[in-house]
Structure 1
Amino acid sequence: MRYFLELAYFGKAYHGWQRQPEASTVQEVIEKALSTLLQENIEIVGAGRTDAGVHAKQLFAHFDVEMEMPAEMVFRLNSLLPKDIAILDLFPVKPEAHARFDAVARSYEYHLVQRKDVFTTDMAYWVKKELDVEKMNEAAKILLEYRNFKCFSRSRTDVRTYNCNIETAYWEKQDHGLVFHITADRFLRNMVRAIVGTLLQVGLGKIEVQAMHEIINSENRSEAGASVPAHGLFLTKVEYPKSIKG
């Protein structure tokens, strides 16, 4: 039987989602807990991979197991996991359902603060200079006009296409900071952090709003802004068609 896990994690202690040698990752920790609980070797496939230090409020992963998984397995699994990883739900899906390939939309938030805040040190980027949020939102709207976002992708990557369909992209004022919201069918590696870094250049007056067109059309990573730190980034939502459920 195939099951989906819905989970959340605070990414500070991990070298991202994906299993890798000589590094602690979220995938590895969950696989170890599942394997211990079920007394067999379990491998999971995630909806995507987050970089080191990035957090997730919602992410899904699938795995296969012969036995039926009752609801109390969520409690038992959480008791084996560290405090910075939580299983939110567990449910059966169709045998062919895939956590990565069946996802139709993913949403991220990037949090920044504009004054020193000891309570968000590991969850928001402190930008000390004043930002022109109106111009940042004008520049963010330009993203919706394009599909090829090679300029925001990590240089060394093995993707077949740099095309992404961005549905929404905007900044929202919250308390003493800002939150950037973005939703797309897929994202390239480092894409959101590179976009935010470029929009901050607009907000700081270092580049004009219309420069976004030139940057995107260049398809050159060096033309875009520097990537912002990972700790302000959250994967917040992954959406699937209802047809995947068993």
Structure 2
Amino acid sequence: MRYFIELSYRGTAYHGWQAQANGVSVQTTIEAALSQRFGYPMYILGSGRTDAGVHAEQQFAHIDVPEPLALSDSLIYSLNCILPEDIAIKTIFPVRPADHARFSATSRYYQYHITRHKNAFQSGLTYHFRPELDEGLMNEACQLLLHTKDFKSFSKARADVTNFLCRLDLAYWERSRDRLTFHIKANRFLWGMVRTIVGTMVEIGQGHMNLDQFETIIEAKDRNRAGRAAPANGLYLVEVTYPPEVLAERILLG
């Protein structure tokens, strides 16, 4: 039987979502907790890979098991007691055998948070960036992004993909008091794409790059032309979207 796991995590202490040979990952930490709780090796597959230091308010993974799980609030509670404080399982629910955490997803929504002033309670959770940024100009750049299909200029050079095409559903900057938040939603994201876009737009917001130069970077399809990637700590995976039938059995527990 196949189950989906809905969870969240603070990525500061982890070398990304995917299992790594040289560091602790979110995936392997959850697998260890599941294996301990159920008494046999368990393996999960996530909706996508987040980089080292990136956070997730909502992430999904699927797991295949030989016998039905006895789903209950106490099961979720026991798993969360095994897991470290920076990973939380929200619910586990059955899905159809063909439903896939990665390939059944229709979109992913990320936010990137920038703050100008130091906050003792947000350390490691936002990008503390002192210079003023012109979000109006950055939003003009977003309009160019929304007409873009090929994002090769914003993908890490070693990305293992057959193409660099993405369909953006939204891209905009929003200011709220001291915080500047970038919202971006697409059917898929390339390795390092959001952080590279943010890093390039920070150049625009400071007046170090104009819109014509930004458009030239997009058209170049060359990662070396884009700006430096923004730090991982400001980036959050906020929502993963699936067709309603995939989430039909989803009940929040824990």
- Could you tell me the TM-score, scaled by structure 2's length? 0.94
Aligned partner of 1:71 in structure 2 is 72
Deviation at 1:242, TM superposition (A): 1.6
1:102 maps to 104
SS of residue in 2 equivalent to 1:138: helix
The 2-side partners of 1:94 and 1:209 are apart by: 46
- Find the counterpart in structure 2 of residue 62 from structure 1: 62
Give, as a single letter, the amino acid of the residue that structure 1 aligns with 2:72.
A
Counterpart residue number, 1:33: 33
The alpha-carbon deviation at position 106 of structure 1 amounts to 0.1
Correspondences of 1:221-236 after superposition (within 5 Å): 221-236=223-238
Structure 1 segment 116-131 matched on structure 2, within 5 A: 116-131=118-133
Partner of 2:252: none
Correspondence for 2:244: 242
Shift of 1:171: 0.5
How many residue pairs get matched? 246
5 Å matches for 1:80-95? Answer: 80-95=82-97
Please identify runs of 4+ aligned residues in structure 1 that moved more than 4 A: none
CA distance in 1: counterparts of 2:150 and 2:47, whole angstroms: 21
- Give how far 1:71 is off: 1.9
Identity percentage of aligned residues: 46
SS of the equivalent of 1:101 reads coil
Question: Residue 76 of structure 1: CA displacement?
Answer: 1.5
Question: Which residue does the alignment assign to 1:18?
Answer: 18
Aligned counterparts of 1:19 and 1:208: Cα–Cα separation in 2: 40
Q: Distance in 1 between matches of 2:153 and 2:23?
A: 29
Shift of 1:119: 1.9
By how many angstroms is 1:210 displaced? Answer: 2.7
- Give deviations 1:30-67, integer Å, cap 9, x for gaps: 00111111111111000000010000000000001122
Structure 1 segment 52-201 matched on structure 2, within 5 A: 52-69=52-69, 70-72=71-73, 73-201=75-203
Of residues 67-76 and 222-231 in structure 1, the stretch that sits farther from structure 2 once superposed is: 67-76
Moved more, 130-139 or 72-81: 72-81
Task: Determine the C-alpha separation between the residues in 2 that align with 1:209 and 1:118.
Answer: 35
Cα shift at 1:175: 2.2
- The alpha-carbon deviation at position 68 of structure 1 amounts to 2.2
CA-to-partner distance for each residue in 1:168-203, whole Å, 9 max, x for gaps?
A: 000011221200000000000000000001111110
Q: CA deviation at 1:114?
A: 1.1
Distance 2:97 2:72 in 1: 19
Cα distance in 2 for partners of 1:68, 1:191 equals 38
